[in-house]
Structure 1
Amino acid sequence: MSTGRNTTVRDQHRRAIRRTQPACGICHTAIDYDLHYTDPMSYVVDHVVPLNKGGADTLENKQAAHRRCNRLKSDNLEGATPTRAFETTRTW
């Protein structure tokens, strides 16, 4: 399944968001835009409505986020409570 992403457009959107240096769209705290990209608090772009939930790969559907916040949100809609991946009926 193709997500319709274009790396040139992706990079343009990343630069456009970075220019205004907004706070994290998920936790609403400041982002240090100078952190190494592997740092959990570094800048990444998040799709507000995930692509696999019908979101568009447009600038209007993107926001700045901390790497950690984006990983925790995963492909859930903002405000949605992630479902548990595993539940058991085992009692101790």
Structure 2
Amino acid sequence: MSRVSRNTTIRDRHRTQLARTKPPCAYEHCLFPGEPIDYDAHHLDPKAFQADHVIPVDAGGPDTLANKVPMHRACNRHKWKSLPGDDTGARVYETDRTW
């Protein structure tokens, strides 16, 4: 599994643009239905703002504003690498180990 290098300047610009109008969480299975994202919360707070890639970069999605949506931190962690339409929210762990 390879790590994708991302430009932090672009990341910060996209975060600012997404947060400008303080939109609600975009996760269809939101863990806090009806509760707004706390755009001023500490970054580790479950209701804090995170920009999520709709199609994960690891799955070939572009690191563009058009591929990013706002989410609660907890929702983003729950969604993880799920693709649109995948409602399982399950994480897939890869390892080089043989059992």
**Deviation per CA, 1:14-47, whole angstroms, max 9, x where unpaired?**
1111111110110264212121111011001100
Do 1:4 and 1:57's aligned partners in 2 also have CA atoms closer than 8 Å? Answer: no
Unaligned 5+ runs, structure 2: 93-99
TM-score computed with the length of structure 1 as normaliser: 0.81
How far residue 4 of structure 1 moved from its aligned partner, in angstroms, is 4.2
Which of 28, 33, 36 aligns to 2:42? It is: 36
Unaligned 5+ runs, structure 1: 86-92
> 1:21 and 1:84, CA in 2 relative to 1: closer, same or farther beyond 3 A?
closer
Q: CA RMSD, aligned part only?
A: 2.1
Mapped partners of 2:40, 2:57: distance in 1: 27
- Aligned residue identity for 2:4: T
Structure richer in helix, relative to its length: 1
Mapped partners of 1:50, 1:66: distance in 2: 17
- Aligned residue identity for 2:18: I
Which of 58, 62, 86 aligns to 2:68? It is: 62
Mapped partners of 2:37, 2:83: distance in 1: 21
Do 1:41 and 1:68's aligned partners in 2 also have CA atoms closer than 8 Å? Answer: yes
> 1:35 and 1:56, CA in 2 relative to 1: closer, same or farther beyond 3 A?
same
Number of residues paired by the alignment? 86
